[in-house]
Amino acid sequence: MTHVLLVARAVTHVGGQDTVRRLAVDVAEALDVPVSACFLDGAAPSLHAALDDAVAAGADEVLLVPTHLPPDRYLDTWIRRAHAHWATGHARPPRVSVTGPLADQPALVTAITHAVTGPRHPLAGSPGPFRSPAWSRLTPHRHHVLVCRGPRCTAYGANQVADHLTRRLGQHGLGDDDALVTPTGCLFPCNLGPLVVVHPDDIWYEHVDPELAGRIVDEHLRRGQPVDGQRPRSRP
């Protein structure tokens, strides 16, 4: 059985993630094969999780479709690296292959032609929100929490860490004024991921799992005591 995975890069807004998921549903109906959406970084499910799901569903072949415009060398490179890392944990992984980028598909010209010759909607709106004074004020947060959502941290479980941090903050009634949580791209010491960094304390938490994420909220962000007495990052 062949499973198709549409692999996208980080999509920072939920609407964009839903678009990729809806595309997977439409492609599944057109091909009559299992098709799922996944993300290399920044969103769930990760490529690793989607490959695990395909294996659990009985796939003997998985076809990866890099879903990006224009072609993205970063995505192409990290798809291969992420798959190689995933395969090391499976004694008999299914056959996995990858398609060419969407931008190289002749049907893309047809799709753009339909858009150009199709319905048009005049643009209208006010420039006020673009220059709103609200976007000139620094937020009054006590802590700024950076959660790495790069490809390696995502493969190591950053999606679950981010979800657990957000839920635990909500359970304690802590909002942006207490802890402003910001997902980031790669923070560089990837082999130590998933990484969570708390500023202004300059505390870097390594190999964070959901349990440690909960302690970061309970002890550090709520009571101001870094987990296990951890000290700020040492300077060279």
Over 80: is that where the pLDDT of 10 sits?
A: no
What does the alpha-carbon distance between residue 115 and residue 148 come to, in Å, rounded to a whole number? Answer: 37
Task: Report the pLDDT averaged over residues 126-147.
Answer: 88
What does the alpha-carbon distance between residue 210 and residue 215 come to, in Å, rounded to a whole number? Answer: 9
- Architecture of domain 138-228 in this structure: 3-Layer(aba) Sandwich (3.40)
pTM score, two decimals? 0.85
Over 90: is that where the pLDDT of 9 sits?
A: no
Task: Give the strand order in the sheet containing 196-199.
Answer: 179-184, 143-148, 196-199, 203-205
Which residues on adjacent β-strands are paired with residue 181? 145
pLDDT in tens, 40-65: 998 899 999 999 999 999 999 999 99
Strands 203-205 and 196-199: antiparallel
Token couple for 188: 């560089």
Question: What pLDDT score does 35 carry?
Answer: 98
CA distances for 230 relative to 121, 123, 165, angstroms = 56, 53, 18
Note every long-range contact of 69-75, with CB atoms under 8 Å and residues 24 or more positions apart, other chains counting.
Answer: 69/102, 69/103, 69/108, 70/103, 71/101, 71/103, 71/104, 72/9, 72/101, 74/9, 75/7, 75/8, 75/9, 75/40
Q: Within 13 Å, how many C-alpha atoms sit on residue 154's CB side?
A: 28
Over 80: is that where the pLDDT of 235 sits?
A: no
* Res. 130 pLDDT band, cuts 50 70 90: confident
For the domain with range 2-104, which CATH number is right: 3.20.20.100, 3.20.20.140, 3.40.50.1400, 3.30.420.40? 3.40.50.1400
| DSSP one-letter code for 234 | P
* Res. 236 pLDDT band, cuts 50 70 90: low
Greater confidence (136 vs 182) lies with 182
Task: Give 28: exposed, middle or buried? Use CB within 10 Å, 0-12, 13-18, 19+.
Answer: middle
Task: Report the pLDDT averaged over residues 213-228.
Answer: 97
Mean confidence (pLDDT) of the chain = 92
Do 138-228 and 2-104 have the same topology in CATH? no
Question: What pLDDT score does 131 carry?
Answer: 83
Over 90: is that where the pLDDT of 15 sits?
A: no
Question: What pLDDT score does 40 carry?
Answer: 92
* CA 68 to chain CA centroid, nearest Å: 14
> Using CA atoms in the order 27, 112, 7, 75, what is the torsion angle rounded to 10 degrees?
160
Task: Report the pLDDT averaged over residues 227-234.
Answer: 91
Question: What pLDDT score does 178 carry?
Answer: 95
Three-state SS at 31: helix
* Res. 14 pLDDT band, cuts 50 70 90: low
Domains of the chain, residue spans: 2-104, 138-228
Hey, how many other C-beta atoms are within 10 angstroms of the C-beta on 143?
19
